[in-house]
């Protein structure tokens, strides 16, 4: 199906990049990644070793074409509400404008999701003065449906703070507690990602975000102990033959999995695993159609010799059957 010589190698090597959100705008592929930086931060299970400060947008004219770095698109110093940790971003197009979405910690150390706007897909982007009201946690992914309705999917456990919002308010807890120990345990229902429909302005939520449950083959929600299938972070939504597919990372078990639904707002039923673990702790991806073929953009830590917070983005072709089943990728095998 594919010539792997153009796939599965870092798209750029002059900077570290991660968490690629790929989109097709104006007939080109644009990739919105995190920009990983060398740092002395402690790996405390809370993600403090990910101290990113800006974003660069990458682009390719075609599959296999050289990947361009379009330079800095947004820096934290130009985001009035943010204090640190510019994590996995995404972008969308609507109403003749490009929208860039990104998580960062606010001045109180709480992850929020911000929006910025630009006239071109590669930016630069101008940040809104405040974060999106009602937003929290990390990893925004915005899906614009064929009817023009747009939805933001977001949320990540542990360093991403998702489990700290179960009451609807942020509960800080003891910074020394075991990551995730304040989330569901054992047979309790695992947390799902959040979804919020966006207003027409693409800068605000239409209503309060709601949690998406991921159901097993018997229609029961996945439980916290089901760590090979539970939701951890990195949601992505793609549509294939009128069905909606939510894909995500299982975090500490390092898989990319996906679930299917008839509606962008769920419920979703677990369907399978789409990629085996990569080098490095994190796994984060996006799925995009380009010229009738499907591609998986993802990262690993191979370029830094396995250092988790120093990653590189790459891509490979995806095989999707008529019923939406994705042929599982082993990132290091043909």
Q: Which sequence positions are flagged as catalytic?
A: 19, 233
Q: Report yes or no: 16 and 56 within 8 Å, Cβ to Cβ.
A: no
Residue with the two structure tokens 């229609």: 219
| Paired tokens of 297 | 């953009």
| Paired tokens of 284 | 């984060």
Query: What minimum distance in Å lies between the beta carbon of 285 and ligand FUB?
Result: 9
Residue 205 or 231 having the CB closest to ligand FUB:
231
Query: What minimum distance in Å lies between the beta carbon of 249 and ligand FUB?
Result: 6
For residues 164 and 161, give the distance between their C-alpha atoms in angstroms, rounded to a whole number. Answer: 5
For residues 302 and 297, give the distance between their C-alpha atoms in angstroms, rounded to a whole number. Answer: 15
Q: Strands 141-144, 126-127: parallel, antiparallel or unpaired by DSSP?
A: unpaired
Query: What minimum distance in Å lies between the beta carbon of 85 and ligand FUB?
Result: 8
Closest by CA to 215, choosing from 196, 192, 234, 249, is 192
Closest by CA to 125, choosing from 75, 173, 175, is 75
For residues 275 and 269, give the distance between their C-alpha atoms in angstroms, rounded to a whole number. Answer: 18
Query: What minimum distance in Å lies between the beta carbon of 58 and ligand FUB?
Result: 15
- Number of Cβ within 10 Å of residue 95's Cβ equals 10
Residue 87 or 153 having the CB closest to ligand FUB:
87
For residues 163 and 172, give the distance between their C-alpha atoms in angstroms, rounded to a whole number. Answer: 10
Residue 19 or 317 having the CB closest to ligand FUB:
19
3-class DSSP assignment, residue 188: coil
Residue 232 or 290 having the CB closest to ligand FUB:
232
Query: What minimum distance in Å lies between the beta carbon of 33 and ligand FUB?
Result: 9
Footprint of ligand FUB on this chain (CB under 6 A)?
18-19, 34, 50, 87-88, 138-139, 156, 233-234, 282, 284
Residue 114 or 234 having the CB closest to ligand FUB:
234
Closest by CA to 322, choosing from 296, 291, 294, is 294
């Amino acid at each position: 199906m594919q010539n792997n010589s153009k796939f599965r190698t870092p798209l750029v090597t002059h900077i570290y990049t991660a968490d690629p959100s790929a989109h097709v705008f104006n007939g080109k592929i644009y990739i919105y990644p995190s920009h990983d930086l060398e740092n002395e931060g402690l790996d405390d299970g809370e993600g403090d070793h990910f101290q990113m400060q800006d974003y660069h947008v990458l682009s390719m004219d075609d599959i296999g074409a050289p990947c361009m770095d379009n330079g800095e698109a947004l820096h934290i110093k130009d985001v009035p509400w943010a204090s640190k940790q510019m994590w996995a971003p995404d972008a969308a197009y609507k109403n003749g404008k490009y929208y860039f979405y990104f998580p960062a910690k606010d001045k109180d150390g709480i992850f929020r999701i911000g929006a910025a706007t630009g006239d071109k897909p590669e930016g630069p982007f101008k940040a809104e003065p405040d974060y999106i009201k009602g937003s929290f946690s990390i990893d925004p992914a915005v899906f614009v449906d064929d009817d023009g309705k747009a939805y933001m999917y977001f949320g990540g456990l542990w360093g991403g703070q998702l489990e700290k919002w179960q009451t609807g308010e942020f509960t800080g807890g003891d910074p020394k507690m075991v990551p995730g120990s304040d989330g569901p345990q054992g047979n309790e229902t695992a947390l799902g990602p959040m979804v919020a429909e966006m207003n027409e302005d693409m800068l605000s939520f239409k209503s309060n975000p709601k949690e998406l449950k991921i159901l097993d083959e018997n229609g029961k929600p996945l439980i916290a102990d089901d760590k090979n299938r539970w939701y951890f972070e990195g949601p992505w939504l793609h549509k294939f033959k009128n069905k909606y597919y939510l894909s995500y990372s299982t975090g500490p078990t390092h898989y990319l999995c996906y679930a299917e639904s008839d509606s962008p707002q769920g419920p979703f039923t677990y369907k399978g695993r789409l990629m085996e673990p990569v080098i490095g702790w994190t796994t984060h991806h996006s799925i995009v159609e380009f010229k009738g073929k499907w591609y998986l953009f993802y990262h690993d830590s191979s370029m830094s010799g396995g250092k988790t917070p120093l990653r590189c983005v790459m891509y490979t072709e995806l095989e999707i059957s008529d019923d939406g089943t994705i042929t599982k990728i082993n990132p290091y095998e043909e």
